[in-house]
Structure formats: C-alpha cells, structure tokens
Structure 1
Amino acid sequence: MSQDFPSEGALLGIDFGTKRVGIAISTPDQSISSPLETLQRSQPAQESKIFCKICKEYRIKGLVVGLPVHMSGDEGEKAKMARKFGDWLSKISELPVIYW
C-alpha cells in the first residue's frame, strides 16, 4: 500500500459500474469488509452528497476501488473508467485512494 494510505480505520470499498456502484465498509482494523448497499448511478452532484455522507457517517479513512482487468492482467476501458471515478471520489472526499 501507499505510504499515504492509512493502515488503521474504516475503508470504503467501491465496485464501480456504469449503472450501479457497489459499496462496502471495512472494520476499523481493516480485517474484514461487509457490503453496505448498491447505488444507482445519478448526477455527479447527487453522488457527491451521498458518498460524502457515507464517508462522514462511517468515519472512512481511505478508499479502495476495484479494478476490472483482463485475464492477461491488462487494464481495459472499464478499468480506466473506474480509475477516473476513484480519482474523482478521492478529490471530493479528500481521502486517499488505492486501486485493487
């Protein structure tokens, strides 16, 4: 993990999709995560409010965005979209992000 990424505190897991986004929350010791909800994609302003509310409510310390990769391990268009979404989410939430 990145030096700037927290080793303690709850993490928000993101399963990016163009129609829906799956969200999971880890325990504060980051040993296990549980699904929270699946959000229908909407306007960026609406999504911003939802994600910031979740981050505040669960005291999130970092973001983990899943990357869909090809069997070869190469990243395709969906992975690029997931990275763009993760970068945006990191910016609006002011939280560090890693891609997994």
Structure 2
Amino acid sequence: MRWMGLDYGDKTIGVALSDELGFTAQGLEVIRRKRDEPDINRIKELVRQYEVTEIIVGLPKNMNNTIGPRGELCIAFAEGLKEELQLPVHMWDERLTTAAAERTLLEADVSRRKRKLVIDKMAAAIILQGYMDYSKKR
C-alpha cells in the first residue's frame, strides 16, 4: 500500500509519497501547473509508476474551520482526480503546512532560492504524514 499526498496550489502541485509500509512521507516533486489535463496526466504517471493506492489532497481551511474559495477549488480538483483515477481520494486539513515547511527550511538554513524549489513538495509531505499518523491511531 502506497499513499500520495498533494499540495494543490495556483501555480504548483507539491507531490509526496509514503514508503511502501506507510510509515513515512517523503517529498517527491513539484509539478508546475499548466492546465488541468497535463497536471492530472503527470499525477496518473506517478500513480502508475509508484503503484499508489490512495491519494490525500490538502484542504486549505480558514482558521475558523470554514472552507473558502481556495478550498472549493481543491475539493473540485480532488473529485476530478477520484473520477479520473478510480482511486480513493481523501481531503486533509492543510492549515499552516506551508508555514511549517518554511520554518523547517529556515531552521535548516536553506537559501531563499532553494526553499522556493522544494517548499511545495515539503508541504505535501507534511500533509501526507499528518494523514498517515491520524490513520494509524484509528
């Protein structure tokens, strides 16, 4: 069983994968968004290549727990993925994941230019790890 985590943004999609046993999440790549079709095709390729069985998409909620326009776009994207890939797709609260990724990279003294290149896949890994940790407790 292998899970994929996605941090869906306006310009990029951060991608992370679990190890085969579902213990840890690692950032894989950042997809530079073009249009929905090529973006979904790249995700399809990764799903096949890594034999992904479930996908977790970050859901950006407001701090008062409501879902705004950005959240609605993520839900629509997740529903499209579910239809296209015929796999379970789960939503996971992603509040503050990018801030956590940024803080971790700053603590590691990663340059601004390098942070920009990896922050989205790191946020996807945080989303995925949070989902996996929660799932183990259930």
Shorter-chain TM range is 0.7 to 0.9
Across the aligned residues of Structure 1 and Structure 2, the Cα RMSD in angstroms comes to 1.0
1:69-84 map, 5 Å: 69-84=61-76
Show the counterpart of 2:90. 98
Q: Greater helix share, 1 or 2?
A: 2
**Is the counterpart of residue 10 in structure 1 residue 2 in structure 2?**
yes
Runs of 4+ off more than 2 Å = none
Does 2:55 match 1:63?
yes
Paired with 1:45 and 1:66, the residues of 2 have a C-alpha distance of 20
After TM superposition, the score normalised by the length of structure 1 is 0.86
Gaps of 5+ in 1: 1-8
Unmatched tracts of structure 2, length 5 or more: 93-138
Structure-to-structure mapping, 1:22-33, within 5 angstroms: 22-33=14-25
Deviation at 1:91, TM superposition (A): 1.4
Question: Are 1:38 and 2:30 an aligned pair?
Answer: yes
Q: How many residues align?
A: 92
Per-residue CA shift, 1:62-99, capped at 9, x if unaligned?
01001111111111111110111111111111111110
* TM-score, normalised relative to structure 2: 0.64
Write out per-residue CA displacement over residues 29-79 of structure 1, whole angstroms, 9 at most, x where no aligned residue: 221110001111112221232111100000000010011111111111111
Partner residue in 2 for 1:52: 44
Which structure has the larger Rg over C-alpha atoms? 2
- Residue identity over aligned pairs, in percent, reads 25
Quote the Cα distance in structure 2 between the aligned partners of 1:79 and 1:44.
17
